[in-house]
A = this chain, B = another copy of it.
């Protein structure tokens, strides 16, 4: 199809939505991609690249001829170009910026400074701004001119002579307003803005709660620096959900696409760490070998106790991590949350403990073994519930977001705690078991 006719290809390709273009483009072999580069202008290619998955964008840019690549970057939305460049090494970035038209390069350079995952790194500088002195009619005219380059024209931001943000007008209000009024008379001064250093997760939350389509980004002197649009925020929400999820599972869940060897390489570090932690658990049991040789029956409840500890810990971990992510926890305090989890752990612990005591009594006919297992489960659930909540809350308080708060790690720690409690008590009460 492609090799045949450049005009026919362009006709059909440019008619479809850029997202579909990108899907088609990604599915092609390297040779076909080179053909596509030669068939499309940098502007057209920029549209395609913007819709390619984030992680793959830089691979395609690198395989283009550098002059073409620089032009594609210059034609992309500034915020998307910056995201892409952040994946490349500094020398490459510098060389692209040198070939690019100067004003585009400057815009990109400004945005490259901001730290990852902050408002600055996801904002775009392509927005419509008007001055308070303009009339509605002048503003409308300005808007028509600015529309083709702007990321959104549905909010028009209003600044004073010092470029400080003083309000916003929605296109909706601008359309209904009388043409002779000045912007000063129609501007909505109740404006919500975010600071350039704010975390992207907080911004996503704000946008969802307030139902905004875009939010202005300001510096400490309230100068308008850029805007963040809802389509970027949807990507952020997706990314953050994946992150939380990956943490709970102890695996990068975005590895769906990869070949088995890459996938195994990603999972192995975790598994090796857990293997070593598991050996630690084994060495604890080994210390109780004597107890175990006297009452081999003890061994049969090991998976039950360790499993229950792991599952409860994961439950309270998940509640805590999600509570932090959705901002629910900021409303309550850390102490109140831990108190709450303690009581929950106590209730579930006592219930499950009593249940297992009863079941083992009926099953094995031994009163004391059931009591021992039941008590171990009760204490274990109590401790595991607290530790599952405490670890992520402390990490969050200390402003670190580490793998330590991940599911498999908490599970293994709770294994160790539960086994120690179980065998410790068994050894202590040995005379009743024999």
Task: Output the nearest chain B residue to A249 by Cβ-Cβ distance.
Answer: B318
A66 to chain B, nearest CB (A): 28
A35 interfacial contact with B, CB 8 Å: no
A153 interfacial contact with B, CB 8 Å: yes
B17-A210 in contact (CB<8A): yes
B281-A190 in contact (CB<8A): no
- Bound together, the chains give a CA A46 to CA B263 distance in angstroms of 50
A322-B264 in contact (CB<8A): no
A161-169, A193-201, A304-312 - interface stretch: A304-312
A57-65, A113-121, A405-413 - interface stretch: A405-413
Q: Chain B residues near A297: list those with CB within 8 A.
A: 286, 289
A192 interfacial contact with B, CB 8 Å: yes
A192-B323 in contact (CB<8A): no
4 cross-chain pairs, A with B, having the tightest CB-CB distances, nearest first: A249-B318, A278-B304, A260-B343, A241-B241
Q: Chain B residues near A328: list those with CB within 8 A.
A: 256-257
Q: Chain B residues near A434: list those with CB within 8 A.
A: none
B411-A307 in contact (CB<8A): yes
A358 to chain B, nearest CB (A): 11
B282-A348 in contact (CB<8A): no
A209-229: CB near B (< 8 Å → 1, else 0) gives 111010000000000000000
Task: Output the nearest chain B residue to A15 by Cβ-Cβ distance.
Answer: B190
A275-310: CB near B (< 8 Å → 1, else 0) gives 100110111011001001100111111111011101
Task: Output the nearest chain B residue to A206 by Cβ-Cβ distance.
Answer: B19
A314 interfacial contact with B, CB 8 Å: yes
- Bound together, the chains give a CA A176 to CA B415 distance in angstroms of 66
A335 interfacial contact with B, CB 8 Å: no
- Bound together, the chains give a CA A303 to CA B411 distance in angstroms of 11
Task: Output the nearest chain B residue to A278 by Cβ-Cβ distance.
Answer: B304
A5-13, A89-97, A102-110, A231-239 - interface stretch: A231-239
Select A231's contact among B211, B237, B300, B356, beta carbons within 8 Å.
Answer: B211
> Given known contacts A251-B318, A253-B322, A302-B299, is B175 in contact with A154 (CB within 8 Å)?
no
A249-B292 in contact (CB<8A): no
Secondary structure dominating the interface of A? helix
- Bound together, the chains give a CA A249 to CA B406 distance in angstroms of 11
Size of chain A's interface in residues, with CB distance under 8 A? Answer: 114
> Given known contacts A279-B304, A301-B282, is B245 in contact with A190 (CB within 8 Å)?
no
A315 interfacial contact with B, CB 8 Å: yes
Interface centre among A234, A235, A257 (most CB of B within 10 A): A234
Can you list 30 A-B pairs, Cβ within 8 angstroms, ordered by A? A16-B190, A51-B209, A144-B175, A144-B176, A147-B172, A153-B172, A208-B231, A213-B213, A230-B234, A244-B245, A249-B314, A249-B315, A253-B322, A255-B319, A257-B328, A260-B342, A260-B343, A263-B344, A267-B348, A268-B351, A272-B352, A272-B355, A274-B307, A279-B359, A282-B301, A283-B300, A286-B300, A303-B303, A307-B412, A311-B411
- Bound together, the chains give a CA A301 to CA B251 distance in angstroms of 24
A307-B310 in contact (CB<8A): yes
B264-A344 in contact (CB<8A): yes
Q: Chain B residues near A285: list those with CB within 8 A.
A: 299-300, 302-303
Q: Chain B residues near A253: list those with CB within 8 A.
A: 318-319, 322-323
A428 interfacial contact with B, CB 8 Å: no
A326 interfacial contact with B, CB 8 Å: yes
Select A230's contact among B16, B213, B319, beta carbons within 8 Å.
Answer: B213
